[in-house]
Chain A
Amino acid sequence: GENVEQHPSTLSVQEGDSAVIKCTYSDSASNYFPWYKQELGKRPQLIIDIRSNVGEKKDQRIAVTLNKTAKHFSLHITETQPEDSAVYFCAATASGGSYIPTFGRGTSLIVHP
Chain B
Amino acid sequence: NAGVTQTPKFQVLKTGQSMTLQCAQDMNHNSMYWYRQDPGMGLRLIYYSASEGTTDKGEVPNGYNVSRLNKREFSLRLESAAPSQTSVYFCASTAPGQAYTFGSGTRLTVV
Contacts and interface: CB of A to CB of B under 8 A. Distances in A.
A105 interface: yes
Contact of A93 (B41, B90, B97, B102): B97
A100 B33 contact: yes
Interface string B48-79: 10100000101000000000000000000000
9 contacts: A36-B100, A43-B90, A43-B105, A44-B100, A44-B102, A98-B31, A98-B48, A98-B56, A100-B58
In this complex, the member of B31, B33, B45, B102 whose beta carbon has the largest number of chain A beta carbons within 10 angstroms is B102
Given A32-B97, A99-B97, A44 B103 contact: no
B22 interface: no
Interface residues of B, number: 22
B33 A34 contact: no
Interface of A: 31-32, 34, 36, 42-46, 49, 89, 93, 95, 98-101, 103-106
A45 B97 contact: no
Contact of B43 (A45, A46, A95, A103): A103
Nearest to B58: A100
Nearest to A101: B100
Interface of B: 31, 33, 40-43, 45, 48, 50, 56, 58, 90, 94, 96-100, 102-105
A34 B98 CA distance: 8
A95 B96 contact: yes
A105 B33 contact: no
